[in-house]
């Protein structure tokens, strides 16, 4: 996709507050603007469950579930070890970045 290949175009700042990690923009973002892709290791449900069982991911909540449309072992993007700023997008009590 040409939009993704252009890379990050909006200046973003990862910050820590009393509620945990978050991301804020340093400039206004127009509606429907591409912000960035979610980057991580693509694995399957069973592999993720195995990692949790071994406690490799005990404190990780950087999983993007790619619903397989009813498929049991569907893909999951794990951004715990390999990721980018997007892994902090869903960590808001009041999210304001929507589809």
pLDDT of residue 8: 78
Note down pLDDT in tens along the chain; length 99 residues: 677 777 778 899 999 988 788 888 889 988 888 888 888 888 887 777 777 777 656 666 677 777 765 566 678 888 888 888 888 886 566 666 665
pLDDT of residue 13: 92
pLDDT of residue 36: 86
Inter-residue contact 66 to 77 (CB < 8 Å): yes
pLDDT of residue 11: 92
Closest CA to 84 of 1, 10, 30: 10
| Prediction pTM value | 0.67
Report the residue count for the chain: 99
């Amino acid at each position: 996709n040409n939009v993704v290949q252009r890379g990050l175009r909006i200046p973003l700042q990862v910050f820590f507050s009393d509620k945990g990690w978050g991301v804020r923009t340093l400039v206004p973002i127009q509606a429907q603007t591409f912000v960035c892709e979610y980057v991580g290791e693509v694995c399957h449900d069973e592999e993720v469950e195995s990692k949790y069982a071994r406690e490799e991911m005990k404190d990780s909540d950087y999983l993007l579930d790619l619903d397989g449309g009813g498929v049991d072992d569907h893909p999951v993007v794990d951004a715990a070890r390999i990721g980018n700023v997007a892994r902090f997008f869903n960590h808001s009590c009041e999210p304001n970045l929507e589809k």
